[in-house]
Amino acid sequence: MVDMPAQNPQRIVLPPHRERARRPRIVRLREWARRNLFNSRAGTALTIVTAIILGLLIYGVIYFVFVDANWRVITDNRWLLFAGGYPMDQEWRLWFSVGFVFLLIGLTYGTWASLGRRDHLFIVLASGFAILLLAHGGAAIWSTLWYLIAVGLLYAGYAITIRMPREAGPGRTLQQRSVAGLLIAALPIVLIVLLAFGGARPRELEGFVLNLVLAPVGIAGGLVIAIPLALGRASRMKAISWTCTTYIEVVRGAPLLGWLFVALFILDDVIGGELIVRAMVVLAVFTAAYMAEYIRGALQALPGGQSEAAHAVGLNQFQSMQLIVMPQALRISIPPMVGQAISIWKDTTLVTVILPLRELKGNADSAIAQFEFTPDRIEAYVFVAVVFWVVAFIMSRISQRVEGSLGIGER
């Protein structure tokens, strides 16, 4: 028989999960709530208690932010907090750097990842936060405009690179190499723009700008020292591995504050120079010890067959390191390295504690030292915390996306 005994031709039997999905949204919502919020008597009690705590917290935060707090301590000290002693007539250099870095972020995202809905939301929120700060005082319109141009550059860079083909090929390689090259060159370029050709003197770097300079220098310098250090520690030559191990263990033995103490009192005799340069050296040397340990872990995680295979096809020691072992080891060590980078980002606040260098937290201290703002200490520190949180969040988010697209953690 060809004729089907179809009494109800409209009725199509779907697999169970599709069947569930067809039910009205309100039913699905109720089911979801029953499963995730009210799955038992204890679960319901827990939900209610948590909801009350959450409600109180939200109430407290809203009351503090909109009623209790006096945010003039921030808005009146905008320049002090962000650039401090940086010469005001050179403001364009700061904005040029911001635009350049935003463009790079756009290029990186377009090349190795894509912006999701949550990324756009975050950019909009963070921009709202930034504009809220910038849109006060004399140069409000100009600084807001500068900022918007920077965000525009981010999207422009993204729009250009996201349209390029992702398939492996000479074009893709060229794209990846040029973006990576720009990323490597970014730090020197920004430093030149900020300091060279009539820019600020190094000691005039202050406030948030100082954090934004110190952290990348520490990270990049640390990475440069860390790679030979990790190889040295893993070396079979005793003299080399012992000295590298000693370096790593001694540096990790004392807190960063201790090493900054060294920068202040002891390094003066050894290398001299500006205090800020000594602080940078200490940050790099300190970070290197931690990064070296992550790279060493990655080297150990690589199967021994990799370097054996490299030797089998006739690569020498150096080539096998450069072409086979290091690329894989660095890839494995990206997640802990990002953690270390975020840690250094937060640790840049420590230069304020014993050095006479004033980064964001230090200048927040100066802001509340003014007579009219002495009652607003909590506001100032909350603001500092939020700013650090935003940048750390951006760092972890970018790394997550790039890790995902590089397939790290997968085989």
19 membership: H or E segment, kind and range: helix 16-21
Taking the complex as a whole, the smallest distance from the CB of residue 59 to another protein amounts, in Å, to 15
Query: In angstroms, rounded to a whole number, what is the distance separating the alpha carbons of residues 149 and 102?
Result: 10
Q: Provide, for the chain, the percentages of residues in helix, strand and coil under a 3-state DSSP scheme, each rounded to the nearest 5.
A: 80, 0, 20
Q: Are 187 and 212 in contact (CB under 8 A)?
A: no
Taking the complex as a whole, the smallest distance from the CB of residue 90 to another protein amounts, in Å, to 28
- Comparison of 179 and 227: residue with beta carbon closer to another protein: 227
Taking the complex as a whole, the smallest distance from the CB of residue 27 to another protein amounts, in Å, to 18
- Comparison of 20 and 252: residue with beta carbon closer to another protein: 252
Ramachandran area for residue 6 (φ above 0: left; ψ -120 to 50: alpha; else beta): beta
Taking the complex as a whole, the smallest distance from the CB of residue 170 to another protein amounts, in Å, to 39
- Comparison of 158 and 383: residue with beta carbon closer to another protein: 383
Taking the complex as a whole, the smallest distance from the CB of residue 319 to another protein amounts, in Å, to 17
Taking the complex as a whole, the smallest distance from the CB of residue 88 to another protein amounts, in Å, to 27
Residues in touch with another protein (CB under 8 A): 36-37, 39, 43, 46-47, 50-51, 53-54, 236-240, 243, 250, 253-258, 261-262, 265-266, 269-270, 342, 346-347, 349-350, 352-354, 361, 375, 377-378, 381-382, 384-385, 388-389, 392-393, 396
- Comparison of 98 and 350: residue with beta carbon closer to another protein: 350
- Comparison of 327 and 404: residue with beta carbon closer to another protein: 404
- Comparison of 206 and 293: residue with beta carbon closer to another protein: 293
Q: Are 337 and 367 in contact (CB under 8 A)?
A: no
Q: In 253-264, which positions are buried (b, 16+ CB within 10 angstroms) versus exposed (e)?
A: eeebeebbbebb
Task: Name the residue among 293, 272, 290, 292 with its Cα closest to residue 281.
Answer: 272
- Comparison of 226 and 384: residue with beta carbon closer to another protein: 384
Taking the complex as a whole, the smallest distance from the CB of residue 374 to another protein amounts, in Å, to 10
Helix H segments across 137-274?
140-162, 170-195, 207-234, 238-253, 256-265, 267-270
- Comparison of 136 and 346: residue with beta carbon closer to another protein: 346
Classify 359 as helix, strand or coil. Answer: strand
Taking the complex as a whole, the smallest distance from the CB of residue 269 to another protein amounts, in Å, to 5
CB atoms within 10 A of CB 285: 19
∠337-345-204 over CA atoms, to 5°? Answer: 135
Ramachandran area for residue 4 (φ above 0: left; ψ -120 to 50: alpha; else beta): beta
